[in-house]
Amino acid sequence: MNELLNKVGIGCWQIGGDHQINGLKNGWEPLSLSDRIKLVEREIELGFTFFDTAVGYGDGVSEEILGTGIRNSGKRDKIRVCTKISSTQLLCHTGHDWYSFEKVLAGSLKRLGVDKIDILLFHSPSQGLITDDVRELFIKAKNNSLINEFGLSARSFDDLELATDKKFGTVFQWNFSLLESRVNDLFSKQVLNEGQFFIGRSLLYRGLLTEKFVKLGPKFTFNDARSQIPDNLLSWVHINALKIQTLSSSVGLTISEFALLYGIMNPYSHMSLVGVRNFENLCSLEKLLSFKLSDLQVAYRLASKFVCSDVDIC
């Protein structure tokens, strides 16, 4: 493993399994429960120390699996856990108040099997909820030693801008990939204040920058969360994916490796999340992180020159 390991966080959405939100598929066909726990254990064994989950990932299943894997590893002191709570979960109780907040947070602490959560994010709130009153709930949790840091996982770029402007905590999460790199313009203008931390997610652009999608094209039938992506967006991604594959091939990488590398090496991302669904995904990530850093730097410089086909969509 090379030094980029410290910039890679494991995204735990997929291990939450298959579930629905408002009648729509929002999960992934999972491994068995025991194999998902073994997957977490293997990730920790390889040296990964940052894990990102959420209450909403399988209605707490992802948190439970992650917590079991960490406990089995015996390395809790070396692991940083980031989880998220949403307005929907608070509204299952009495709303956006301390009683509800403490109830939801207690559930996460129990499922994860920890006394304190390293990072707690507000999960995809509407702009009307990115307020001082809601922020005070997170501050109270921090003052009560239930969490170390807090921030926001944004549902849109505009929400990300608003959250950073309002200083809604110190940690911010949003998409970053070869097809969605607006955060670079945002952060190059020094929008992030001193002490604020950015986590990049969706490095494969909704899981589409893959060899299989390039080969089969936008008519490919997905049996997971990607089945909700509009046809016109699939077509646009496929056009760009073909261009990206040409670049990746020129430096001996697959399109997935090339895309992951671009996200991981982005200087404005303090941490980059890689969703690991199975042992095959983990082996691919392990392979990427075994390459010589000098070779990866060459590939990154090439990736940085890529321009997607439609600026308006990017």
Model confidence pLDDT, tens digit, residues 276-293: 999 999 999 999 999 999
pLDDT in tens, 90-127: 999 999 999 999 999 999 999 999 999 999 999 999 99
CA distance linking residue 270 with residue 290, whole number of Å: 20
Whether the per-residue pLDDT at 190 is higher than 80: the answer is no
Which CATH fold would you assign to the domain 3-205+267-278?
A: TIM Barrel (3.20.20)
Residue 3's pLDDT is what? 82
Segment 284-312 mean pLDDT:
90
Whether the per-residue pLDDT at 22 is higher than 60: the answer is no
- Which CA distances in Å does 91 have to 84, 117, 285? 15, 21, 38
Q: DSSP assignment, residue 221? A: P
Segment 9-14 mean pLDDT:
95
Whether the per-residue pLDDT at 193 is higher than 70: the answer is no
**Among 90-104, 149-163, 211-225, 255-269, the least confident range:** 211-225
Residue 257's pLDDT is what? 96
CA distance linking residue 170 with residue 45, whole number of Å: 29
Residue 309's pLDDT is what? 84
Asked if 77 and 62 touch (Cβ cutoff 8 Å), the reply is: no
The encoded tokens of residue 57 equal 């990932």
What are the helix (H) ranges across 21-153?
A: 33-46, 61-73, 87-91, 98-112, 132-143
| 11 bridge partner residues | 52, 275
**Would you place residue 312 in the very low, low, confident or very high pLDDT band (cuts 50, 70, 90)?**
very low
Given the structure tokens 């209605």, which residue do they identify? Answer: 59
CA distance linking residue 205 with residue 262, whole number of Å: 12
Whether the per-residue pLDDT at 69 is higher than 90: the answer is yes
Residue 111's pLDDT is what? 98
Residue 227's pLDDT is what? 79
What is the CB-side half-sphere exposure of residue 202 using CA atoms within 13 A? 19
Residue 280's pLDDT is what? 93
Percent of the chain with pLDDT over 90: 80
Residue 282's pLDDT is what? 95
The encoded tokens of residue 119 equal 């990072």
Residue 228's pLDDT is what? 83
Whether the per-residue pLDDT at 20 is higher than 80: the answer is no
- In three-state secondary structure terms, 209 is coil
Q: DSSP assignment, residue 34? A: H
Asked if 3 and 292 touch (Cβ cutoff 8 Å), the reply is: no
Q: End-to-end CA distance of the chain, in Å?
A: 32
Whether the per-residue pLDDT at 192 is higher than 60: the answer is no
Mean pLDDT score of the chain: 92
Whether the per-residue pLDDT at 26 is higher than 70: the answer is no
pLDDT in tens, 232-261: 999 999 999 999 999 999 999 999 999 999
Asked if 273 and 10 touch (Cβ cutoff 8 Å), the reply is: yes
